[in-house]
Structure 1
Amino acid sequence: MTEPLIAQRKDDHVRLAVEQQHDHSGRNQFDEVTFVHHALAGIDREDVSLATSFAGISWQVPLYINAMTGGSVNTGVINRNLAIAARETGVPIATGSMSAYFKDPSCSGTYSVLREENPDGFILANVNATASVENAQRAVDLLKADALQIHINTVQETVMPEGDRSFASWVPQIGKIAAAVDVPVIVKEVGFGLSRETLRVVQDLGVRVADVSGRGGTDFARIENGRRRLGDYAYLVGWGQSTAACLLDAQGAGIPVLASGGVRNPLDVVRALALGASGVGASGGFLRTLQDEGVEALVAQLTTWLDQLAAMMTMLGARTPAELTGCDLLISGGLRDFCADRGIETRQFARRSSRTDATGAIGATDEPTGSTR
């Protein structure tokens, strides 16, 4: 494949992702997770910290800008602006797949701009499961990355006109990369979800963290089908498990999980944290803001999300993101049906706060039932 075709594909992905954001229906399975309201659970805002730690990684905030793009002139500009927004708000950021860089090193600047504009930030490089160990380390070195994402995307590759059709090598190759690179490895889906069985596989491979990245946000089956002349894979749109379902499926898996896919607002961030995520990522909504309104608007959006996240934690009585796993949750609708079929007891989530402190406020249990921590 020549470099212009790669660049065109990257630009097509951005265009089609933004189009999805503009015509999104607005509902997903996060709406089937609600908090039991305890009117005296609130604490003082000054006692709330947004800091989160997992697998030896420490972030100032539990929100991150997830993998989007890179590999063309246009996407390099997008990455520059995303990096500025991350720098101004202290939010970690991941680059998009760096496969274009391996095929054409002249596009390296469309990725390295993340570090140039955000020299002190937490940056995640991103490769696919077919990357060689050498290329995985090249990706880390180019960005001076703090962690490496390996994305797995069999559904996207299947629908992509020029996509891979050989997947058997992915498992052993992930293990080789995890053993060789000098930063933590995070395996992530691209919007179709990770099952508990997959989490066990990647944990056995030495992977430190998993981003469940479920259904509900940008749908790459739909994007790739939009690039097909006949659009003949439309029936795969909507494939996979939702992010909320993945988090419930991950209970007790023993590997720290991040959550992305269908995160629309700060309430979804709180819901994901309460379901056991150590951090929560978003991409499509942030891309739409950047493309429609510019980098200053994205900085304002991120700042608002962080402020409102802290406000909701104050209301819920959670001093840290981890303490949200002690809040009582009700699981309803199709999400409850999913849990029943997967053998997940949902009633436990409705009774996690079991003590009242000396002030009379309802607090989180020390070891909340269902936490993955």
Structure 2
Amino acid sequence: MRRVRKKEHIENYLKTSYRGDTLLGDVFIAHNALPELNFDEIDTSTEFLGKKINNPIMINAMTGGSDFSQEINKDLATLAKELGIPMAVGSETIALEDDDSVESFKVVREIVGPEGIVIANLSGIASVDEAKRAIEIVQGDAIQLHLNLAQELVMEEGDRDFRGVLKNIEEIAKNVDKPLIVKEVGFGISYVVGKRLYDAGVRYIDISGYGGTNFIEIENLRSHEVDFSELYSWGIPTAASLVQCRHLPDDARLIASGGIRNSIDIVKSLVLGADIAAVSGELLAYLVHGGYANAKDYLESNLYKLKVLMMLLGKGNIQELKKTEYKLTGKLKEII
């Protein structure tokens, strides 16, 4: 069932038509006509999970568990290696249940190599032992636990009991010797939830806001019982989630995902307080529709434009970029 569902998720993502607003367009940053910089010396490297990465972006969790998924993961891992960026695998729950699925995840580390960053992935209800096994499969530098409440509720066969999830996350934070990332799957994390996660020992939060992959729509395309289309607009926009969660203690690290589609989205995410940005759905579409070369061109062109935008802002490195002044406008200003 999981194999079929994962394939349906990919197919249905490519069919989705609803596009929410991340509200990143409501973030104004000013042009600097006198940057006094050499474009060729602009440094886009940064540190993440204790390793240096070439660019402040990661390939976020997408898939795994089937031959089709394995081919996608091979291409994504190759991109991660060539561009020097981290990659998170899709949920490894299927690999814990089906040995035949393990290779579709292991292949990522095999391609990326020991110097790259690979992040394991499970649900927030996973046990400590399951978390350790998921890390072992991909030799993970960290583990990502996803919170997919909205998706499960729309999924006909989804979970309905969510008691004890926070306590479970706290147990994993205490008993797993790798960094723990908690992420939403496209509906955002508020400050209140972020603080509860922080107090439970979580130091990496992927806010995964509204405006990107919409799992209510994806699951609705699989459902034949109830029409959930009126809930497509549910969630905290990515920009609003970032602005809220940046008020967490200084040692909290934020990953911006949820509708990160281009270079200006990356820049504005970093300006709002993210340590790195993450892409998934948009990259998947480029890969499936146009192949590896198309996906590589998409990433490389946006990373080049990242440098262009840094030049236009007069910022020579990522730490300087994160200190850029900005103003909130429109609906985002009203929400905040």
For Structure 1 versus Structure 2, the TM-score category normalised by the shorter chain is over 0.9
- Is the Cα contact below 8 Å between 1:140 and 1:148 reproduced in 2? yes
Runs of 5+ in structure 2 lacking a partner? none
Deviations 1:78-113 (A, max 9, x none): 111111111121121110111111121221011111
Matched, 1:127 2:122: yes
TM superposition shift of 1:159: 0.8
Query: Aligned partner of 1:262: which letter?
Result: G
Query: Aligned partner of 1:118: which letter?
Result: V
Residue from 24, 27, 30 that aligns with 1:30: 24
**1:239 paired residue number:** 234
The TM-score, its normalising length taken from structure 1, stands at 0.86
**1:115 paired residue number:** 109
* Structure 1 residues 155 and 57: alpha-carbon distance in aligned structure 2, compared to 1, 3 A threshold: farther
CA distance in 1, matches of 2:274, 2:209: 13
Q: How does 1:1-373 map to 2 (within 5 A)?
A: 5-20=1-16, 23=17, 25=19, 28-53=22-47, 56=50, 58-119=52-113, 120-254=115-249, 255-339=252-336
Deviations 1:132-167 (A, max 9, x none): 111101111110111111111111111111111111
- Is the Cα contact below 8 Å between 1:96 and 1:126 reproduced in 2? yes
CA distance in 2, matches of 1:212, 1:57: 21
Larger Rg: 1
- Is the Cα contact below 8 Å between 1:36 and 1:329 reproduced in 2? yes
Query: Aligned partner of 1:304: which letter?
Result: S
Q: Secondary structure at the match of 1:130?
A: coil
TM superposition shift of 1:57: 5.0
Q: Secondary structure at the match of 2:34?
A: coil
Q: Secondary structure at the match of 2:322?
A: helix
**1:351 paired residue number:** none
Q: Secondary structure at the match of 1:221?
A: helix
CA distance in 2, matches of 1:73, 1:7: 10
TM superposition shift of 1:231: 4.1
Query: Aligned partner of 2:253: which letter?
Result: P
CA distance in 2, matches of 1:24, 1:288: 15
Deviations 1:292-322 (A, max 9, x none): 1111221222222222112211221122222
Greater CA drift, 45-54 or 114-123? 45-54
CA distance in 1, matches of 2:121, 2:308: 32
Query: Aligned partner of 1:176: which letter?
Result: E
- Is the Cα contact below 8 Å between 1:42 and 1:316 reproduced in 2? no
CA RMSD, 1 decimal: 1.6
**1:356 paired residue number:** none
- Is the Cα contact below 8 Å between 2:21 and 2:210 reproduced in 1? no
Query: Aligned partner of 1:271: which letter?
Result: K
Q: Secondary structure at the match of 1:326?
A: coil
Deviations 1:238-267 (A, max 9, x none): 211011011111232111111000111011
Deviations 1:159-178 (A, max 9, x none): 11111111111101101111
The TM-score, its normalising length taken from structure 2, stands at 0.95
Query: Aligned partner of 2:188: which letter?
Result: G
